[in-house]
Amino acid sequence: MAQAHEARARLCAAHGWDESAVELVPVVASGDRIQDRPLAEIGGKALWTRELDQWLVEGRIDGAVHSMKDVETLRPEAIAIAAILPRADKADRLLGAESIAAIPAGARIGTSAPRRAAQLLHLRPDLTVVGIRGNVATRMAKLEAGEADATFLAAAGLDRLGEDAVGVRLDPEAWMPAPAQAAIGIECRSDDARARDLLRAIDHAESHAEIAAERRLLEGLGGSCSSPIAALSRTSEGRIALSAAIFSPDGTVRIGDESEFAAGDDEAPLVLARRLLDRAPPAVTEHFGQPL
Q: If DSSP codes are grouped into helix, strand and coil, which group holds residue 16?
A: coil
Q: What are phi and psi of 55, to 5 degrees?
A: -65, -35
From the candidates 62, 70, 89, 149, give the one annotated as an active-site residue.
70
CA–CA gap between residue 228 and residue 284 (Å, rounded): 9
**SS3 of the chain: helix, strand, coil, percent, to 5:** 35, 20, 40
Please check the confidence at residue 37 and state whether its pLDDT lies above 60: no
Scanning 16-49, the segments in alpha helix (DSSP H) are 30-33, 39-42
Q: If DSSP codes are grouped into helix, strand and coil, which group holds residue 111?
A: coil
CB 249, CB 117: distance < 8 Å: yes
Which residue has better confidence, 137 or 68?
68
- pLDDT tens for 142-172 read 999 999 999 999 999 999 999 999 999 999 9
What is the structure's pLDDT at 90?
98
Q: If DSSP codes are grouped into helix, strand and coil, which group holds residue 281?
A: coil
CB 285, CB 274: distance < 8 Å: no
CA–CA gap between residue 43 and residue 48 (Å, rounded): 10
Instruction: Report, as an integer, the average pLDDT of 198-224.
Output: 97
**Known active-site residue 70:** yes
- pLDDT tens for 77-100 read 999 999 999 999 999 999 999 999
Which pTM was predicted?
0.91
